[in-house]
Amino acid sequence: MAMAMAHQHRESSSDSINRHLDAGKYVRYTGEQVEALERVYAECPKPSSLRRQQLIRDCPILSNIEPKQINVWFQNRRCQEKQRKEASRLQTVNRKMTVMNKLLMEENDRLQKQVSQLVCENGFMRQQLHTVC
């Protein structure tokens, strides 16, 4: 019945490569492509349009990507870095604060004890002065 039909093989003719070749708009770039782009990004996160065109020319791996897409890639890449950087900044600040907090509490404790000690000695001496006079 319907259940049996359901398990017939569905025509999955959408290989990622075919998708790219026909009218499919959305493509994942290959590991190599991303790697190449990342290498450029590391040196220059904001390449000029000239630089981008050069990139496409020199790098055969990227030749099937449109200049506009390259531009979008860099925009998205910058955005991503910004977000990650902010997140990790907050994390770092957080960690440091935690450590600082701990140290302060320890110091606080130490001072508390010191105060008690001194107060104690103080009282003792005060008493001795009284008995002497």
Partner DNA sequence: CCCTAATGAGGCGTAATGAG
Partner DNA sequence: CTCATTACGCCTCATTAGGG
Residue 21 found at the interface with a second copy (CB under 8 A): no
Question: In Å, what is the CA distance from 47 to each residue of 55, 72, 75, 83?
Answer: 10, 12, 10, 20
Only one of the segments 55-63, 78-86, 97-105, 110-118 lies at the binding site for DNA (rule: CB under 7 A); that segment is: 78-86
Q: Which of 44, 72, 79, 100 binds a second copy (CB under 8 A)?
A: 100
The helix (run of H) or strand (run of E) holding residue 14 is none
* Total of residues contacting DNA (CB under 7 A): 33
Angle of helix 31-43 versus helix 67-132 axis, rounded to 10: 60
Q: Would you tell me which residues interact with DNA (CB under 7 A)?
A: 3-4, 6-10, 14, 16, 19, 22, 24-29, 34, 46, 49, 68-69, 71-80, 82
